[in-house]
Each structure stands twice: as structure tokens, then as C-alpha cells.
Chain A
Amino acid sequence: MSHPQLASIFNKDEKKVNWHDKALWFVRHKRDMSVHHVQGWEELRNLGHGIKAHMLSNLNSYLEEFEANAKKNGVEVHWAATAEEHNQIVHKILRENNAKKVVKSKSMLTEECHLNPYLEADGIEVVDTDLGERIVQLAKEPPSHIVLPAIHKNKHEVDELFQEHLGTKPCDGDPQYLTGEARKHLRQKFIEADAAITGVNFAIAETGGFVVCTNEGNADMGAHIAPIHIACMGVEKIIPKLEHLGVFLRLLARSATGQPVTTYSSHFKKPKADKKMHIVIVDNGRSEQLSRPDFRASLHCIRCGACMNTCPIYRRSGGHSYDATIPGPIGSILSPGKDLTKHSSLPFASTLCGSCSDVCPVKIDIHSQLYKWRQIITKNTPQPFIKKKSMQMMGNIFAKPKKFEKVGKIARWSLRNLPKSLINSKPNAWGKARDLPEGPKQSFDEWYNERQQNKNN
């Protein structure tokens, strides 16, 4: 289904929309409180943007540098051109080590590659260990937000879910109790795990190390207990130098949740002597996106989710209405690059208000890219006949003032004289919940001409 269809279903429950909107606006508010206290915030954003742009313009060299250093550190580096290959590589590592139980910390990349079902098909247990991710995993749903995966669920739904799957007692949705029970349940999973999979927030070319950020400590509980650590990263996660972390770690958590930094910013470099560390570097369409000058800045994204929290459409349509791994504004500029037809409604799920671009810590011109995708979509995907024709007609009318005048006159007459029931009938989506203005007798044009004539007389 398209975004407007899914959004209108979401909007059938207005109370839920209000709740969802408020919960995410609260996160945006916390972000504001935090960043407005940072001296030089805008300069920090400029640095974030500049470092990422530089990185992309030298990406192949930085990837090679990163690989060489990671290998020196005793890390095994793998390359995956596609999601399928990524899954095969991870699967192979697990099989070679006879790993049957896997704990995974949040990684949008493995979500993008649909790693879980791939491994589960071979009887491997994959447990998502971020609380929000665990909640949606138990509910058999995809995450609806990249930082707050279960933001669409209220505490009572979580309560019921945990009763069913974890055998918890009914608790009227007490978050403290539910979190405590999840801790116990997942602690067992950490202890038993044969392998840990994590994402990568930043990979540092000059050291071959990488940084993983969490608040819960789940990435570390997984990676330091299990004998094997597999870190999966998109090619664009590279940053040139260690000192650049100073910029990105200052931007990331403040933009995401308003925290001054995530609770844990873990810097992995060398595995312990008795352990193995693997890095899987994934392309899966990123190099293609890099080839598009108008859209390559979308690869700057550090996955903070601020554009989702600020987006008035996201807040009122829910993450699932985007039907894409990454929902919201950033997803709407990334997804069309992967499947233009499937995601053709996403760039239109915006008023182009520009809040996403202003909130973005790495200054991605998100709303301009939405506009540009629209131009491409209308040319390259099937468009409704009526939309196409009416646009041609409008283009024609607006190029010729005489025609415009005539059409305007008819429209104003109709608004004045036709019954409301006809004006607001079904084909006019505007009129479902809104009135149209009264059609004035005189256009401005007519009024002005009359006034000039009177003046001249």
C-alpha cells in the first residue's frame, strides 16, 4: 500500500495519533533543550557535514585504509556487494564456528538485509537485545523508528506481549517492572550466546577500529561475552580520523534523544586473544546512491532519527506507514534509490516544510532531495492519468493569461453558485473535512483594472 493509504488507516484512531505525535514531539523537545545549550552547534553541524562529504569523496581510499588497519589489528574483514551476500557471509561465519545462538544489538543494516529470517531458516536463534527491538521482534513486526523501534506500541501492549512470551505477571504496563523482566530474560541469552552481532556507528580509517553506541549496554554484553563478534557496517560509516569522533559523538545522542552522549560509546579495535572479531562491509546500493550528485548527501546520515521526531507527517502517520526499513524523511530519500516504484509515494509524504533539513546534525538537505525525487518519480514510474493530464493542463493555463482568467472566472462562479454538497462531493478530497473559500465576484485582476480605469477617468 502507498503512504497515503497506510497513513489514513493510522489516522482512523485519532487518540493513538495524538499519543504517537506527542511522544515523538517530546523527543524533539528534549533534543532542542540539549542542542540549544551547545555553543557553536551550527558550526558543529557544518563540521559533521564537511567531514562526511570529504569522506564520501575519498571513500574507496578510506575503506582500503580501514581494511588494512583492521587486518593489522587481527580483525577479519569481509565485503558484501548485496544484502544476500551479507547474509551469506554472516551465516558462513556462524556455521564455521558452529554457532547456533546469536545475540544481536541494534543494527539497521541487518534489518535492511533481512538477516534474521535468513539465519532462522537454518535453525539459528537470533535474539534482538535492544529492548525496543526485542519488543517488536516478539510482536513479529519491523521497527517503526530507527532509534525508538517500538515507539508505536504503548506500555499495555508491551505488558501483554511480555506476559505471552516471557511469562511475566500482569503489571498495568509498569515500565520499570517490564524492563527488569526483559533484563533477566536477555541476560540469560547473553550468557548462552555463541556469537554476537552488532552494527557500527563509526569506523575509523586511521585506526581500523569502530565505535558502537548504545544506552542499554547490550552491544557490549553481547560482544564481550560471546566468543565471536560480527560487526556489520555500510560502506558510508567510515570516518577518516579518531578526532572526528569528537564531532560525531557530540552530534549523535543530542540529536537522537537529547542526551549529551550515549551511555556507552564503545571503541572496538583488537579482539581479545581467545576471541574472534569480524567486520562485514556492505554496499547494497550505497555506491549507486553515491553516483547521484543530487542524492549522495543522504549517505552522510548518522542514524540519529531526529528527522523522524521532527517530521509532522511521520509523527501523525507512524513509522510503518512508510513500508521501508528506514522510515521518515531520511528513509524517503534513501528508499527510492533502491526501488523507485515500490517507494514512489514516499517523497510525496511531505509538505516540504524543511524541518528535517534544519534538525539534521550532518545537514543533509532532506527536503530538497524529496523535491528532486518527485521530479524523477513522475518521469520514471507510472502516474495516474488524471494527475498527469491535470498537471499538463495547469502548465498550459499558467503559461497563458487569457486562459487563466477564463478558468478562474468559472471556478469562482462555481464556488459561489454550486451547492456545497456538490463542491464537497467525493472526488474533491479537499472538501472531506474542509470548506473551500467563497468564490469572490471579482478577481484581484478585475478589481485592479477597474480601479485603474476609475483613476484615469
Chain B
Amino acid sequence: MGSRAKILAKIKANKPDSLELPHIDPSIFDEGLNLVQEFTKKVEVVGGNVREIKSNIDAISQVKTLFPDVKVNFSTLENTKDFNTLDLSSIKSPQDLEDLDILILESDLAVAENGAVWVADSQLPFRVLPFITKHLVLVVSKKHIVPYMHQAYLKLNNAPTDFGVFISGPSKTADIEQSLVIGAHGALSLTVFLKF
């Protein structure tokens, strides 16, 4: 008997009688959050910044002021082709993205309680993009902020994706004496642009 069969048989023999699966009722957690306010607060708590934008053009111009020295840019926003200095068709492997300074992505899901923004595969020509970039800018519409993770997963249930990630703030570590350092392996900074 192979290990698979052995393990499954042993578990079957050893498990307790079936216990009921509890039902999740998200309403018991509801505190009536002001979504934009809570989301903004939480992004700041986790080391990110939140700004308002009027349009994609506005996003680009704000990025240029916020990051004046960047050289290698890439954006997946509509109508921002001019901004891109990176030609993805020339990228053969993820390693070639090492010099990326700034990446702008759009998301249609963010979570107020923890400042997390969902980034899905469909937005990512290379999955490593939001991690390898030095600075990450995420654009979210205010109407796409949900209060808690429960609502987020209700939405994700209907939008299956091959890879996706909740990003809450820039990469960080406190592994040296519990001192928080922003910028571990992933992005050194995270800015969220909120639009209507």
C-alpha cells in the first residue's frame, strides 16, 4: 500500500465522528464601519499611504510628484501607456524585472478592517511584479471597499483566480529585536489611490 492510501486509511480509522460545520454569520461582527475612513486608518497602521485621485491621469501625475526619481515604470491602468518605460514583451523571465522602480495596479476589492487590497492574476503579466517592484501603487475605487474579510471572500467566491494576493502595507519585518523595519523582500513602499 502506498503512502497515500496508508495515510487516508489511518485518518479514516482515527478520526472522531463527524462534527457539524459551523455557519458563519458576518452580521455578528458588524460595527457599522465607515469604510473609507477605516480602510485609510488601517493602511496607515500597516505602514502604507492613502491618497485620493480624480482619474488615472491624476494618478500618474501624483506618482510623478511622489516618486520623482524613478526610472523604470510600469502600470496596468487604462490610458497610461506613456508612463510605462518597461516593455513587457521584452521580459523573458521574472528575474528581468529586478530593476522595476514603480508598479501601478488596479484592484476591485479592498478590505476596511485590515487595509488589505486584493491583487489578482488577471492584473499580473508576471506574478512576481507586486513583490519585486521597489514601490507599489494600488488603485481602488471606494465602492469596492468591503468591511471585513467575510465579505471579501463572498466576492472572491464568484471570481475564481489562478493566483491572487491580499496586500496590506509594504513588506516589513521585525525579526531583529522586534524593531519594525519597512522594506523586507517585497515592496519598500505602498500607496493606495482611492477613486470614486
Binding site for B on A (CB under 8 A): 23, 26-27, 38-40, 43-44, 46-47, 50-51, 53-54, 56-60, 63-64, 73, 79-81, 85, 129-132, 135, 148-151, 153-155, 158, 173, 175-176, 178-180, 183, 186-187, 190-191, 207, 215-218, 220-221, 224-225, 235, 240, 242-247, 249-250, 253, 257, 259-270, 272, 281, 283, 287-288, 290-291, 293, 296
Binding site for A on B (CB under 8 A): 2-4, 6-8, 10-22, 24, 26, 28-31, 42, 45-46, 93-95, 98, 111, 113-116, 126-128, 131-132, 148-150, 152-154, 156-157, 160-179, 181, 183-187
CA distance A440 to B94 in the complex (A): 78
Most chain-B Cβ atoms within 10 A of its Cβ — which of A64, A183, A257, A296?
A183
Question: How close is A17's CB to chain B, nearest CB, in angstroms?
Answer: 15
Q: A47-B24, A242-B157, A283-B7 are in contact. Are A263 and B164 (CB under 8 A)?
A: no
Considering the complex, give the chain A residue whose CB is closest to the CB of B154.
A243
CA distance A202 to B11 in the complex (A): 19
CA distance A100 to B97 in the complex (A): 23
Known: A153-B177, A263-B46. 16 other contacts (CB 8 A): A54-B20, A79-B4, A173-B177, A191-B98, A216-B185, A220-B131, A220-B186, A221-B185, A224-B94, A224-B126, A225-B93, A242-B156, A253-B114, A261-B149, A265-B116, A296-B16
- Report yes or no: B22 in contact with A245, Cβ–Cβ below 8 A: no
Considering the complex, give the chain B residue whose CB is closest to the CB of A271.
B162
- Report yes or no: A60 in contact with B185, Cβ–Cβ below 8 A: no
Q: Residues of B contacting A268 with CB < 8 Å?
A: 163
- A-B contacts, CB under 8 A, total: 250
Q: A155-B176, A218-B184, A290-B11 are in contact. Are A261 and B128 (CB under 8 A)?
A: no
Which of the residues A85, A240, A245 comes within 8 Å of B3, measured between beta carbons? A85
Q: Residues of A contacting B157 with CB < 8 Å?
A: 242-243
CA distance A150 to B20 in the complex (A): 40
- Report yes or no: A43 in contact with B167, Cβ–Cβ below 8 A: no
Q: Residues of B contacting A265 with CB < 8 Å?
A: 116, 165-166, 168
Q: A175-B176, A290-B14 are in contact. Are A218 and B168 (CB under 8 A)?
A: no
Considering the complex, give the chain B residue whose CB is closest to the CB of A244.
B24
Is chain A's interface secondary structure helix, strand, loop, or mixed overall? Answer: helix
Most chain-B Cβ atoms within 10 A of its Cβ — which of A58, A130, A149?
A58
Question: How close is B23's CB to chain A, nearest CB, in angstroms?
Answer: 9
Question: 7 closest pairs, A vs B, by CB?
Answer: A217-B186, A260-B114, A216-B184, A132-B175, A291-B14, A224-B128, A50-B22
Most chain-A Cβ atoms within 10 A of its Cβ — which of B6, B93, B132, B178?
B178
- Report yes or no: B185 in contact with A51, Cβ–Cβ below 8 A: no
Most chain-B Cβ atoms within 10 A of its Cβ — which of A131, A179, A283?
A179
Q: Residues of A contacting B131 with CB < 8 Å?
A: 217, 220-221, 224, 264
Question: How close is B143's CB to chain A, nearest CB, in angstroms?
Answer: 20
CA distance A365 to B171 in the complex (A): 34
Considering the complex, give the chain B residue whose CB is closest to the CB of A227.
B93
Q: A54-B20, A85-B3 are in contact. Are A215 and B45 (CB under 8 A)?
A: no
CA distance A302 to B113 in the complex (A): 21
Q: Residues of B contacting A43 with CB < 8 Å?
A: 28-29
- Report yes or no: B175 in contact with A150, Cβ–Cβ below 8 A: yes
CA distance A26 to B94 in the complex (A): 39
- Report yes or no: B176 in contact with A150, Cβ–Cβ below 8 A: yes
Which of the residues B2, B115, B184 comes within 8 Å of A260, measured between beta carbons? B115
CA distance A240 to B20 in the complex (A): 12
- Report yes or no: A54 in contact with B95, Cβ–Cβ below 8 A: no
- Report yes or no: A250 in contact with B148, Cβ–Cβ below 8 A: yes
Q: Residues of A contacting B169 with CB < 8 Å?
A: 263
CA distance A130 to B172 in the complex (A): 11
Q: Residues of A contacting B165 with CB < 8 Å?
A: 220, 264-267
Considering the complex, give the chain B residue whose CB is closest to the CB of A188.
B98
Q: Residues of B contacting A73 with CB < 8 Å?
A: 162
Q: A56-B16, A246-B24, A262-B168 are in contact. Are A217 and B3 (CB under 8 A)?
A: no
- Report yes or no: B7 in contact with A269, Cβ–Cβ below 8 A: no
- Report yes or no: B15 in contact with A290, Cβ–Cβ below 8 A: yes
Which of the residues A129, A176, A191, A262 comes within 8 Å of B95, measured between beta carbons? A191
Most chain-A Cβ atoms within 10 A of its Cβ — which of B28, B93, B162?
B162
- Report yes or no: A60 in contact with B15, Cβ–Cβ below 8 A: yes
CA distance A250 to B168 in the complex (A): 13
Question: How close is B148's CB to chain A, nearest CB, in angstroms?
Answer: 7
- Report yes or no: A23 in contact with B166, Cβ–Cβ below 8 A: no
- Report yes or no: B18 in contact with A175, Cβ–Cβ below 8 A: no
Question: How close is A90's CB to chain B, nearest CB, in angstroms?
Answer: 14
- Report yes or no: B28 in contact with A57, Cβ–Cβ below 8 A: no
- Report yes or no: B174 in contact with A257, Cβ–Cβ below 8 A: yes
